[in-house]
Amino acid sequence: MQRISRREFVKRTAVTGAAFTSLPAFLAACGTSTTTSNKPSKLVVAAVQGNEDGPLKKVVGNYKSQTGIEVQVVEFPYADLFTKLVTTFQANDSSYDLCMMDDPWMPKFGTMGALQPLDSNFGFTRDSDIPTVVYDVGTWPPPHGPVPPSEQGKTQHLYGITIVGNVEMFMYRSDKSSAPTTWDDVYANAAKYNAPNFYGYVIRGKATNPVSSDSLPILWSFGGNIFDDNWKVQLDSDASITAVDFLTRKLKKYAEPGAESFDAAERSQAMATGKAYQSTVWPGEITGIVEDPSVSQVKGKVAYIPIPQGPSGKGLGMMGNWLLGIPKGSKNGQAAADFIKWMLKTDNMRNYVAQGGIPIRNSILNDASLAAANPYFKALAASFAAVPNWRPRTDQWGAVETSYGTAMNAAVAGQLTPQAAMQKAAGEIRTVMKAANYPS
Amino acid sequence: MVADLPVPTGIQPVRTGRRQRSGQERLAYTILVPALGTVFIIVTIPFVIAIWQSVTTDDGTFIGLRNYSRALGNPLFFDALRATGLYALIVLPTEILLGLGFALFVHRAVKRAGLRATLYVAAVLPLVVPPVAVGVVARLIYAPGYGVLNYVLQTVGITHSEIQWLGVSALAMGAVASVDIWQWTPFVYLVLFAGLQTVPKESIEAAQVDGATWWTQFRYIELHYLRPLFLLILFFRMADVLRVFDHVYILTGGGPGTATQLLSLYIYRIEFRFFDGGQAAALAVMVLVSISILYSLVTRALPLERA
Amino acid sequence: MAPTPALPRKGGGRTLAIGIRLILIAAGLGVAAFLYAFPLYWLIATSLKGKPELYQSITLVPRHPTLQPYYSVLFDRGFWVLLKNSVMVCAATVLVTLAVGLVITYPITRLSVSPRLRVGVLNWALSLRFLPPVAVVVPYFAIVRTLQIYNQPIALIGIYSLFNLPFAIWMLKGFLAEIPIELEEAALVDGANRWTSFRRVLLPLAAPGLMAAATIVFTFAWSEFLFALILTATPNSQTFPVGVQGLVTQFEIIWNDMAASGVIAMSVPLVLMVIARNYIVAGLTFGVIREK
């Protein structure tokens, strides 16, 4: 009698069914419950791990004591943050109330329609104390420069505001020489001061974003570019190849071994430990490493200037602002907007600077009383005023930067000649842009 | 091998064998069908979705096999296949030879049971270290600047400048391969060592009386018992090598350039850096189909259990 | 082929032979031990270095050993939440996997089912082990989006159970098959129904096997990285391996924290494996290669 009784069978099925259906419910309840009440108790910020979000993490405590709202900062390394934001937006998830975005990511998020407009939804207006370029970089579609074909009909809106006023600058050991004005000066100084264990120039050569950020100002200063105003690829032009040759052959001679693996932290560390003469630099590295007394041996010996001029006669600095935006999926939009406004208030920004933050207000950058503690302010103010260049405003920037950055890395490593590298990158980028319906 | 389960003899008042079996079978299917069916559906749904994603665009329009032709037309795809093949070629023979060598060594040379047991436990440990942790360990060894390997080499005097283990393609491939070898040679060792235990002592002793060298002993006696194990090891390690992701992602991220961009890292890049969902789905489908075919071909040849 | 003469069995030659043998054994084991122990030592040593030490030259032994990195990882960075998530997700995975595994394995081993079905199920289960996770994550992400379980632990529990189910099936099949069917039949004769005989007779006997399977499933789920990386967004559902990877960055000099997180990640499976060490080979090969 192996037959199961009907009652037993029903009972067993019911138990199993109940278990299987209640298990998910139970487990889902273990997750966050997002409140839709007007005043949330918590805001979640997706941030980039590194020097850029350090000051943010330090000031959110003040926000909590002032408003009672806890701001949780969830960190990711650079490339992972971009992936994480895109996948979260694709899932239309409400996990993040705010997100830190590198400005080249704006086009992708703007094209995806993933962010809430700050001007029309939350009443943000342009403050005259904040450089215009900051608002421009957070606006989609972009107010100047080429606009992707699919975005050309859209109304412009402000989607993000800078909280890390990163503009790429130049640093050199001022105790050894005066400031270089052109890249030829840079090269001459590199040759002159290069010594064992003291690199004439430090290249941030790691693949994709690091080497891309490091090399674009040089590319532009020599008259080269990734795209022209009609989205035609320019990487294999003579000017571009000359620029790449300058960096990966000429400056490389006086650069550190293993440049193809160096990222920003290594570069700053080399400077901070007195092993390097000059390099490009981001303000975040300055406050975090080079001018940090607990780890730096060169405090007071380094000077900061805008990017030197190239043969084109201009030194083109590069925007690398980190913006705060509000994802569409967030259920606490108003509270998030309030937090952004709080960050922008002058007093709070001064406090932020004291914690190592990079400000964007001209009044703070030009404040003489802060100049001594923040030796880069003058150069940063000058860089903003010169209107720095920004990276191409395309939603395909991820693929473009990966192709360009991988090819540049190969050139820095000596695996490819500058010409071969740029032709390879140009070919890959043309394929990507064509598949994305850009003009070619 | 699983013995055939005995058919229960009649315990209850008069039933024919046939009706009992169907009673049992009915119970079996009542339990089995919903559970297995659910699992089967859950497993097949992703495959169906992947196929659907690979033949449509993001907004659902049908575009046929265009994603497949783009996937196959991308030279980086073949670079990834080549890199994976190279990785397998380095890793598999090395693991098997080292594992075999060490198994023979311990089998012949170490007789103390206590030591053997300790070696057993020691061999088990690397197998269960999470691959991300092994990747971290590898970073601490090979990374420029803080990697200890360069430090040791320079201190001992073998080299005088930093070697870019992760910056030179060949060395980077060697580095990621070395991590795999470090973690999985113990697996080969454990399996082959257990296999060596099954070799009858009489055969070995007879051979030794005849004056056989260790090589003859191995080739004519032990190898015979180990042969099926070699095939199985190859089978499982090959499957793992084709799937590898975690420690390579942590150690090199696919670099320098695309030198260590193995197949899984390549698919990851297409889906989560380029966000080309259609192409990624096409790649996923191709990989899944290939593996299924490979699997069914290989299992026919292998001494797996058959009921 | 003339065989080489055997070594002399008497006198000084024998002592020499033993001496050489011992040296070779020691050398062989020593090299292997060094290759495996040194990386782990280095990991632990790095995890005990303070931040300023990272800016100085490398030393093999920390100059001023400190537990600060562990404190930083668990509390400053809040990774104890990730640890908690990992434990919860892995435990839930074990429960689901074993439950479903038993439901599938019991009929196959205890009830008479056509051999073709049995072989079919077992082979199909084994084939799941060969799926590259990255190929599965592409469609699975679409499923997660549709079901709106992104950034929920249940998404991870679901996929981990799925990937570990084949292993559970193979392992449980092996254990259940070893328990003589007569014992259950005796219970049935005594008037118990199937469920009671399962609960009172089979489960206690299968308990060691269940524990072993549970330990191994927990270990495999603990190490999983790719799905956790993709399907989670906040510490609400992130597991510990995601945290470890997040510290592998060259934007900050935090190798000591990175090493500390590696040590923590490693310690759980290592402890578990000492307990379940006899089953790991079977676990990795789905019972195809089983040692006694």
**Extents of the domains making up chain C:** 16-47, 76-284
Which chain B residues have a beta carbon less than 8 Å from that of C289?
191, 194, 229, 232
CA distances from A134 to A143, A330, A346, A385, C178 (A): 12, 24, 16, 11, 72
Q: Please give the torsion angle defined by the CA atoms of residues C63, C69, C72 and C73, in that order, rounded to the nearest 10 degrees.
A: 170
Task: Specify the CATH superfamily of domain B73-301.
Answer: MetI-like (1.10.3720.10)
Q: Are B142 and B175 in contact (CB under 8 A)?
A: yes
> Bigger pLDDT: B22 or B133?
B133
Pairing of β A322-325 and β A98-102:
antiparallel
Interval B263-292: pLDDT, tens: 999 999 999 888 888 899 999 999 989 888
| C257 contact residues in A (CB cutoff 8 A) | none
Residue B77 CB contacts under 8 Å (≥ 6 apart), including other chains: B71, B266, B283
pLDDT above 70 covers a percentage of chain B that reads 90
Burial string for B233-250 (b: 16+ CB within 10 Å, else e) reads bbbbbbbbbbbbbbbbbb
Predicted confidence at residue B78, as pLDDT, reads: 94
Query: A206 touching C, CB under 8 A?
Result: yes
Neighbouring CB atoms inside 10 A of A165's CB total 26
Q: How far is the alpha carbon of A81 from chain B, nearest alpha carbon, in Å?
A: 11
- Measured in whole angstroms, how far is the alpha carbon of residue B36 from the centre of its chain? 26
**pLDDT for A114-149, tens place per residue?**
999 999 999 998 999 999 999 999 999 999 888 998
Q: Would strands A169-173 and A302-305 be described as parallel, antiparallel, or unpaired? A: antiparallel
For the whole prediction, is pTM greater than 0.80?
A: yes
**Residue A103 exposure: Cα atoms within 13 Å on the Cβ side:** 30
Beta-bridge partner residues of A160? A325
State whether residue A44 sits within 8 Å of chain C by CB.
Answer: yes
- What stretches in chain C show pLDDT beneath 70? 1-13, 112-113, 249-252, 286-292
Coil, helix or strand for C104? helix
Q: Are strands A169-173 and A70-76 parallel, antiparallel or unpaired?
A: unpaired
Nearest to A27 among C154, C229, C252 (CB): C154
Q: Which amino acid is at A312?
A: S
The rounded distance, in Å, linking the Cα atoms of A2 and C151 is 45
Largest separation between any pair of C-alpha atoms in chain C: 80
Residue A33: per-residue pLDDT? 44
Q: Give residue A208's region: left, alpha or beta (phi > 0; psi -120 to 50).
A: left
Tens-digit pLDDT profile for residues B11-41? 444 444 455 556 666 777 777 778 878 888 8
Q: Which of A1, A24, A95 sits opposite C233 (nearest CB)?
A: A95
DSSP C277: G
Which of B49, B128, B219 to substitute to test the interface with C, most C CBs within 10 Å?
A: B128
Is A90 an interface residue toward C (CB < 8 Å)?
yes
- The reply to whether A341 touches chain C by the CB within 8 Å rule is no
Cβ density class A349-377: b for 16+ within 10 Å, e for less? bbebbeebbbbbbbebbebeeeeeebbbb
CATH number of C76-284: 1.10.3720.10
B264–C133 CB contact, under 8 Å: yes
Domain boundaries, chain B: 9-54, 73-301
* Torsion sign (Cα): A249, A251, A256, A261: negative
CA distance A399 to A113: 19
Complex prediction ipTM = 0.84
Question: Cβ–Cβ of A402/B274 closer than 8 Å?
Answer: yes
- Contacts of residue A415 in chain B, CB cutoff 8 Å? 169, 256-257
**Strand pairing report for A42-48 and A70-76:** parallel
Contact (Cβ atoms closer than 8 angstroms) between residue A402 and residue B273: yes
DSSP β-bridge partners for residue A43: A71
Test mutation, C198, C250, C255, C261, chain A, max A CBs within 10 A: C250
pLDDT tens for B151-190 read 889 888 888 877 888 878 899 999 999 999 999 999 999 9
- DSSP helix/strand/coil, C62: coil
pLDDT (tens digit per residue) in A250-280: 999 999 888 888 888 889 888 998 999 999 9
Cβ-based neighbours of B222, under 8 Å, separated by 6 or more: B104, B196, B199
User: How high is the pLDDT of residue B305?
Assistant: 53
A72–C251 C-beta distance less than 8 A? no
Query: What is the spatial distance between Cα C133 and Cα A402, in angstroms, rounded to a whole number?
Result: 23
Q: Shortest CA distance to C197 belongs to which of C185, C207, C206, C208?
A: C185
